[in-house]
């Protein structure tokens, strides 16, 4: 039993199978039973529930698969790196800056989820790797072209790292981290702007402090607001599937304040060429209050209204609550960064000061 789509066209496999059953019927006392395909599938997965969920691998990583993989297909339509999120840390700004580079290409947009493919974290995964590859062009030069995709919800989802590592074991992974309290607040503002029913109904403090007895919609909103900020837990999961040298952790605050320095580091990490001088391509837009792409004629291209929103600062009560909520997780994150030999972002140092 295999989930690899190429076996669907493997006529030798069917021939062998048919002859094997004839042989068994003729020469043994075994009684063979079969069922219509759907019922057979249900029965099979009842017997082997662990195989219910596919884990796609790259067909070209195994010579046997590659030999029977259709000649019209290629394994080159896969990303070399992923920007995995989490949401509200500056992922769209990073995406915009990355696609300015002449050797870096993102996926084609999705009709449903816009620039994000959301393959490894949703039911899209069950559509298979052909579906995923359709989002990427055939690279003109496999060595120098860098294709990537950014799906900000990959970061906290349990299945994502395992699935990504199975299909893209050599891919580089980029994650951005900002103070998890600010991330939670930004996310709440985002939900309000999108008129999420629960976010309009409950104040930020009500959301973050809701107890176990709270209404289901409030608990659900709280989980989506707070859980992505448990950075150490999620990072450890990515690190069980990818070696540390394939993982880059960007300080989202630094990307916001000094994108040129961050993009220089990103280029080094990816090993992409030619070197692209972001200091000449980006400019600080006073009106927007953020760094934007500098276009010809001195115009700027900034991210839309939904990024860099104006909203009141977080109230002190919520700030204190969240510092306490994330305290142990921030300590764990600092240990993890120390282990990886990475510097601590300034927001993390400030949060650790509060622990003492
Ligand atoms: P706010 O809208 O709360 O300020 P994401 O793209 O991952 O959803 O992150 C959105 C956040 O990116 C914004 O949150 C903003 O603070 C931050 N950001 C960083 N650099 C930015 C830039 N150059 N333009 C707009 N937003 C930027």
Q: Which residues are annotated as a binding site for 3'-phosphoadenylyl sulfate?
A: 186, 291, 307-311
Share of the chain above pLDDT 70, in %: 97
Position 72 pLDDT exceeds 90: no
**Cα(308) to centroid(ligand 1), Å:** 5
Q: Which atom of ligand 1 is nearest to the CA of 91?
A: 7
**Cα(93) to centroid(ligand 1), Å:** 6
**Cα(186) to centroid(ligand 1), Å:** 9
CB atoms within 10 A of CB 318: 21
Instruction: Please pick, among 43, 63, 73, 88, the residue that the annotation labels catalytic.
Output: 88
Q: How confident is the model at residue 64 (pLDDT cuts 50, 70, 90)?
A: confident
**Cα(208) to centroid(ligand 1), Å:** 21
pLDDT at residue 1, as a whole number: 43
Check whether the bond before 274 is cis (ω within 30° of 0): yes
Ligand 1 pocket test: pick from 83, 87, 90, 311 the residue with the most ligand atoms within 8 Å of its Cβ.
90
Q: How confident is the model at residue 14 (pLDDT cuts 50, 70, 90)?
A: confident
Ligand 1 pocket test: pick from 93, 188, 255 the residue with the most ligand atoms within 8 Å of its Cβ.
93
Annotated catalytic residue 305: no
Residues with CB under 6 A from ligand 1: 87-93, 152, 186, 189, 255-256, 290-291, 303, 307-309
Position 37 pLDDT exceeds 80: yes
Nearest-CA residue for ligand 1 atom 20 is 256
Q: Which of the two residues, 72 and 231, has the higher pLDDT score?
A: 231
Position 355 pLDDT exceeds 90: no
Cβ neighbors of 104 (< 8 A, separation 6 or more) are 98, 146, 147, 148, 270, 272
- The pTM (predicted TM-score) of the whole model is 0.90
Q: Which atom of ligand 1 is nearest to the CA of 186?
A: 3
Position 335 pLDDT exceeds 60: yes
Q: How confident is the model at residue 6 (pLDDT cuts 50, 70, 90)?
A: low
Share of the chain above pLDDT 90, in %: 82
Structure tokens at 109: 């947009």
Position 201 pLDDT exceeds 60: yes
DSSP string covering 142-198:
TTT-EEEEE-TTTTT-THHHHHHHHH-TT-EEEEEE--HHHHHHHHHHHHHHTT-HH
Q: Provide mean pLDDT across the span 325-341.
A: 98
Q: How confident is the model at residue 356 (pLDDT cuts 50, 70, 90)?
A: low
pLDDT at residue 65, as a whole number: 83
**Cα(307) to centroid(ligand 1), Å:** 5
pLDDT at residue 2, as a whole number: 47
């Amino acid at each position: 039993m295999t989930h690899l789509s190429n076996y669907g066209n493997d006529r030798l496999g069917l021939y062998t199978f048919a002859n094997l059953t004839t042989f068994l019927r003729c020469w043994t006392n075994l009684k063979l039973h079969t069922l219509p395909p759907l019922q057979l599938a249900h029965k099979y997965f009842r017997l082997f529930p662990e195989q219910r969920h596919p884990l796609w691998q790259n067909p070209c990583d195994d010579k046997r698969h590659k030999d029977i993989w259709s000649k019209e297909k290629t394994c080159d339509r896969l990303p070399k790196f992923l920007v995995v999120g989490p949401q509200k840390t500056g992922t769209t700004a990073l995406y915009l800056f990355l696609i300015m580079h002449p050797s870096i290409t993102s996926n084609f947009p999705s009709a449903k989820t816009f620039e994000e493919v959301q393959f490894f974290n949703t039911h899209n995964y069950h559509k298979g790797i052909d579906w995923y590859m359709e989002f990427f062009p055939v690279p003109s030069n496999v060595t120098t072209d860098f294709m990537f995709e950014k799906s900000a919800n990959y970061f906290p989802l349990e299945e994502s790292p395992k699935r990504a590592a199975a299909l893209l074991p050599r891919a580089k992974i980029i994650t951005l981290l900002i103070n998890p309290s600010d991330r939670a607040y930004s996310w709440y503002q985002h939900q309000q702007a999108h008129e999420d029913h629960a976010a309009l109904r409950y104040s930020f403090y009500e959301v973050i402090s809701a107890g176990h007895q709270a209404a289901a919609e409030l608990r659900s909103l709280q989980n989506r607001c707070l859980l992505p900020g448990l950075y150490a837990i999620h990072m450890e999961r990515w690190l069980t599937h990818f070696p540390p040298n394939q993982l880059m952790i960007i300080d989202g605050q630094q990307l916001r304040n000094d994108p040129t320095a961050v993009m220089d580091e990103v280029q080094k990490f990816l090993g992409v060429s030619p070197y692209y001088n972001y200091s000449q391509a980006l400019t600080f837009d006073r009106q927007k209050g953020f760094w934007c792409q500098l276009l010809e004629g001195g115009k700027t291209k900034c991210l839309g209204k939904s990024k860099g929103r104006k909203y009141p600062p977080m109230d002190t009560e919520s700030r204190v609550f969240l510092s306490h909520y994330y305290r142990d997780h921030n300590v764990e994150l600092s240990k993890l960064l120390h282990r990886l030999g990475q510097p601590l972002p300034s927001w993390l140092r400030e949060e650790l000061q509060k622990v003492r």
